[in-house]
Chains A and B, each alone.
Chain A
Amino acid sequence: MEKVYINSIGSISAQKTFDNNDFLEEITTYEDNIIPVIEPNYKDFIPPAAARRMAKGIKMGVVASKIALEEANLTDIDAIITGTGMGCVRDSEKFVTAILDNNEQFLTPTSFIQSTHNTVAGQIALGIGCKGYNFTYVHSSVSFESALIDALMQLELKEAENILVGGVDESGEHTNAIHKLIQHIKPEKINSNELLNSKTAGAVFGEGANFFVLSNKKQDSSYAQVLGVKTFNTLAISDLLANLEAYLKENNLSATDIDVLISGNNGDIDYDNYYTELTNGPFKNTQQVVYKHLSGEFNTASAFGFWLGAKILKTQQIPSAVAINTIKTKGFEIVLLYNQYRGKNHSFTLLRRC
């Protein structure tokens, strides 16, 4: 089996991450329950004729993928695999609204076409003329990890050499409004610095696009090696540790081998107890890192966690904004990511320094 490397990254998030030379030196703090991304100048990346129909999510995905391809020094790629929990919600909302407001009359096709979940993957392929394998996974908080599993299988078996993998979700006005009604979004605005200690239910919703070139050929730009990914549709809190230990064992590792634990806790008092099982348990004395106070919660927020893990391993630095303890300041070899959303769709991802 071939080893798989993260050869490049491209990130658009609620922090200024689109420049790969930066690493969370400047932090933008929010006081809200919905946070937007900090956008690059899309015109620098997408010709106006191509951009004119693109909603925000498509632009974010296309640009993040361009940044990643450029860093990997590639113009074409063997496969494009994306994950998106909600797809292009803005266009979906636009089309539903048009249907309802005009009683199904005088509807135009653009928002319908763009609303399709595989739009971003399709647009990237169209943009670079990539006729290879093109998949889109749409399964809540394991959308990105499903894409990773697929890419790893192909790269490990040498069915492909370079695969573009990414997670993208945009936030939509109506979607946010109704998720506030059912308290999936916190009712109160909250400062990002306080978020993860919040004592209330719900999350702060965000959006973002995080793309990576994964390859079985290591190169100078490589960030880390991907050891593996595992997802679980359900996991009772009482079964979490046993399953994690078994997973680590499959990789010939134990909890003490983990140098950095990156947790996906989002400040939702009803579900963050999953993470405390780890952080107060076997990883109590491990360097711990968090990120959703910077990115917000969205179905592919874990791709931002993956970006963070890759950056930490390459730079061997942990920005102060993400560290919640100071157990270790150098010599980071193995990173474990754990994420779930509302107690479902859990994932473990293992990265190693390369």
Chain B
Amino acid sequence: MSTGVAITGMGIISAIGNNVSENYSSLLEGRTGISHISKIDTVHKGSIMVGEIEFTNAELEAKLGLSADNNYSRTALLGAVAAKEAIADAKITNIKDYRTGLISSTSVGGMDMTEKFYYDYLESEDNRKYIEGHHAGDSTEKIAEQLGIDQSLVTTISTACSSAANAIMFGARLIKTGKLDRVIVGGADCLSKFTINGFKTLMILSDTYNTPFDENRKGLNLGEAAAYLVLESDFLVKKEKKKVLGYVVGYGNANDAYHQTASSENGDGATLAMEKALAVAGLEPKDIDYINAHGTATGNNDLSEGRALIRVFGKEIPEFSSTKAYTGHTLAAAGAIEAVYAILSLQNNIIYPNLNFKTPMKEFSLIPQTTLKEKALNTVLSNSLGFGGNCSTLIFSK
């Protein structure tokens, strides 16, 4: 098995908690963050269910100590909060001591402000400061500034729902090839009318709580979140005697090349991604102790992913569960959210329940783990599958 890339810090904000420990408590207590939309100004308020974060933008701005003339989108605010927690967790005091980069990811970027002031921009000067904050790289630039990362490699990935998994993958490769000593990796996405209505047009939003891998699943709930990990080179870890939370040992990305939005029925892309990740890690399927599935609870995803799991693991599928019933589908951030959950699993030897599951799917006999389970865990595999056929797998170890 390859030694992998060390993870020395993590930070998260999601519908089930504003930091790592709150998220972990919710996971243990089976507490979902899904409820009717209450904070976004949309006609779907009170009807569509999503995973919202408690804090208002003003509260997040105060938390970050931003001045009133800031032009942070909610994506940037969430990202900065989570990334700062990760840096503190890794006990980094001077970020300039080592070559440090930032690889972030987002799908909506500053769309929350764009959709709010779209016509207003043309009429009044009041909110034009947000125009520059629209593009997907803007939240990343702001996070870099918050962390004090300058004159360095800072970039953004946007591959729909696999974005953050791909950011982690790219960061791990930058460390492995010696291009950087430390990379902050992750993703952020806030909720917006754009995504809520977009997914509604695809008719894949559930009108109730999402039920991953259930025969009667009705679709997904969207969520907003941000999560970041600190990846550090072996050299840095040794020199600074850093505490290692876990390792990224395997990663793989493949394309389904089947349909613009849907996954192939046989899960070709997901199968390839898992196989590549296992090969990079030098592991056999039997070495995987727990799978944090993508499991969005859409008819299409769970069937495709389930079939891919069977293709890769045969009859010996380890315990698996989707945590989307807790957080909702947090789009570009999902891969990072679930990476944090995977590390918490490894640290505590805990498998989270796949909430809301009742009836096995008729196409196969896969049954997710439905109760909290203690098990000695050495490796966790995490899937993130997205639009444009984008399929990614990460493997974490102790």
B152 contact set on A, CB distance < 8 A: 232-233
CB neighbors of A among B162-198 (8 A): 166, 170, 173-174, 177, 179, 193-194, 197-198
The answer to whether B5 has its CB under 8 Å from any CB of chain A is no
Say yes or no: B140 contacts A99, CB within 8 Å. Answer: no
A119 to chain B, nearest CB (A): 6
Contact of A138 among B131, B156, B272, B389 (CB under 8 A): B156
A177 contact set on B, CB distance < 8 A: 122
CB neighbors of A among B222-271 (8 A): 253-261, 268-269
Stretch at the interface among B86-94, B143-151, B347-355: B143-151
A234 contact set on B, CB distance < 8 A: 144, 150-151
Say yes or no: B121 contacts A139, CB within 8 Å. Answer: no
- Contacts A130-B255, A182-B132, A344-B141 hold; do A104 and B387 have CB atoms under 8 A apart? no
Residue of A with least CB distance to B44: A104
A121 contact set on B, CB distance < 8 A: 159, 388
Say yes or no: B153 contacts A231, CB within 8 Å. Answer: yes
B268 contact set on A, CB distance < 8 A: 131
Say yes or no: A134 contacts B253, CB within 8 Å. Answer: yes
Q: Mark B41-59, 1 if CB is under 8 A from A, else 0.
A: 0111000000000000000
**Which among A109, A119, A122 has the greatest number of chain B C-beta atoms within 10 A?**
A122
Say yes or no: B177 contacts A153, CB within 8 Å. Answer: yes
The answer to whether A174 has its CB under 8 Å from any CB of chain B is yes
Q: In the complex the two chains form, what is the Cα distance from A133 to B140 in whole Å?
A: 23
Q: Mark A107-121, 1 if CB is under 8 A from B, else 0.
A: 111001101111101
Say yes or no: B140 contacts A139, CB within 8 Å. Answer: yes
B111 to chain A, nearest CB (A): 8
Q: Number of A residues whose C-beta is below 8 Å from B? A: 66
B114 contact set on A, CB distance < 8 A: 96
A119 contact set on B, CB distance < 8 A: 260, 388
Say yes or no: B177 contacts A157, CB within 8 Å. Answer: yes
B193 contact set on A, CB distance < 8 A: 99, 104
The answer to whether A314 has its CB under 8 Å from any CB of chain B is no
- Range for the number of chain B residues in contact with chain A: 35 or more
Say yes or no: A139 contacts B154, CB within 8 Å. Answer: yes
Say yes or no: B136 contacts A181, CB within 8 Å. Answer: no
Residue of B with least CB distance to A100: B118
Residue of B with least CB distance to A156: B177
B154 contact set on A, CB distance < 8 A: 139, 231, 233
The answer to whether B281 has its CB under 8 Å from any CB of chain A is no
Main SS at interface, chain A: mixed
Say yes or no: B131 contacts A116, CB within 8 Å. Answer: no
**Number of A-B contacts defined by CB within 8 Å:** 194
- Contacts A96-B115, A234-B151 hold; do A131 and B141 have CB atoms under 8 A apart? no
Say yes or no: A125 contacts B150, CB within 8 Å. Answer: no
- Contacts A118-B160, A239-B151 hold; do A233 and B144 have CB atoms under 8 A apart? yes
B276 to chain A, nearest CB (A): 9
Say yes or no: A108 contacts B141, CB within 8 Å. Answer: no
The answer to whether A126 has its CB under 8 Å from any CB of chain B is yes
The answer to whether A149 has its CB under 8 Å from any CB of chain B is yes
Q: In the complex the two chains form, what is the Cα distance from A64 to B105 in whole Å?
A: 26
A295 to chain B, nearest CB (A): 19
Residue of A with least CB distance to B114: A96
Say yes or no: B261 contacts A113, CB within 8 Å. Answer: yes
Q: In the complex the two chains form, what is the Cα distance from A135 to B259 in whole Å?
A: 17
**Which among A104, A105, A138, A142 has the greatest number of chain B C-beta atoms within 10 A?**
A138
Say yes or no: A112 contacts B136, CB within 8 Å. Answer: no
B202 contact set on A, CB distance < 8 A: 109, 112-113
Q: In the complex the two chains form, what is the Cα distance from A117 to B201 in whole Å?
A: 18
The answer to whether B135 has its CB under 8 Å from any CB of chain A is yes
The answer to whether A218 has its CB under 8 Å from any CB of chain B is no
Q: In the complex the two chains form, what is the Cα distance from A112 to B197 in whole Å?
A: 9
The answer to whether B343 has its CB under 8 Å from any CB of chain A is no
The answer to whether B200 has its CB under 8 Å from any CB of chain A is yes
**Which among A109, A157, A233 has the greatest number of chain B C-beta atoms within 10 A?**
A233
- List 5 contacting pairs A-B, 8 Å CB cutoff, sorted by A: A86-B135, A126-B257, A135-B159, A143-B155, A149-B153
**Taking beta carbons and an 8 Å cutoff, which residues of B are in contact with A?**
42-44, 102, 107, 109, 111, 114-115, 118-119, 121-122, 128, 131-132, 135-138, 140-141, 144, 149-160, 166, 170, 173-174, 177, 179, 193-194, 197-198, 200-202, 253-261, 268-269, 272, 386-390
**Taking beta carbons and an 8 Å cutoff, which residues of A are in contact with B?**
80, 85-87, 92, 95-97, 99-100, 103-105, 107-109, 112-113, 115-119, 121-123, 125-126, 128-140, 142-143, 146, 149-150, 153, 157, 174, 177-179, 181-182, 184, 230-235, 239, 243, 299, 344-345
In the complex, besides A134-B388, A136-B158, A139-B140, 9 extra interface pairs with C-beta distance below 8 angstroms are A96-B194, A100-B118, A112-B194, A112-B202, A118-B160, A123-B388, A126-B257, A182-B132, A233-B153
Q: Top 6 A-B pairs ranked by shortest CB distance?
A: A122-B388, A233-B154, A112-B198, A117-B158, A139-B137, A109-B201
